[in-house]
Amino acid sequence: MLSTLLQLASLAALAHGHGYISSPPMRMPGNATTSACGKSVVADIVKDKTSHVEGLPELAAKDAGYHASQCNLWLCRGVQFADNAANVQAYAPGQVVNVKIALTIPHVGSANVSVVDTKTNAIVGQPLLSWPSGYADEKQFYGQTLPANQTDFNVTIPTTLDGKCATAGECVIQWWWYGTGARQTYESCIDFTVAKV
């Protein structure tokens, strides 16, 4: 059992990346992201939807198409709103939204799901959900006892936005996870609007 865990752990260390929002549809890169972030970043994300952020800044910096001020790799891995404009979810204040995560390789750490202001990359209000520690624990994952609500959970759209996030692209719901031992960050974004009531 221990040797199996060790083998799996070494596999995990070699494999790329490890999680993304599988529902509702997450931002995926297209032409706008290529213009902002360059081809290399886009190729990395297309090759592996679960890939982490660390490593991307170095990759991007070598790419002539990289414009750091437009491509914010620490928000949605740099994937731009324009590439997901067809998938904007219209939510109502107080609406309960189910979110599913495809978590392919665990790295124990912390995570949260938050409304993020895309201009400032700051969380709006409090996280909708947060796991201060113990998220994606290898022992639970490989023991098949990972709590189901880490990968299939509901968030409630805040009732306090008062017109914020009414415009598509202004805010995202971002799932953010940092594997402490692996030192890897995962970011996946849902585009949405909330009508002012």
Least separation in angstroms between CB 107 and Cu ion: 5
Structure token digits, residue 116: 């993020």
Least separation in angstroms between CB 13 and Cu ion: 6
Least separation in angstroms between CB 16 and Cu ion: 7
Question: Segment contacting Cu ion (CB under 5 A): 32-40, 128-136, 150-158, 182-190?
Answer: 182-190
**Which residue has the CB atom at the shortest distance from Cu ion?**
182
Least separation in angstroms between CB 18 and Cu ion: 5
Site residue total, Cu ion (CB under 5 A): 1
Indicate whether 182 belongs to the interface with Cu ion (CB under 5 A).
yes
Indicate whether 136 belongs to the interface with Cu ion (CB under 5 A).
no
Identify which of residues 146 and 182 has a Cβ nearer to Cu ion in the complex.
Answer: 182
Identify which of residues 124 and 182 has a Cβ nearer to Cu ion in the complex.
Answer: 182
Residues binding Cu ion (CB under 5 A): 182
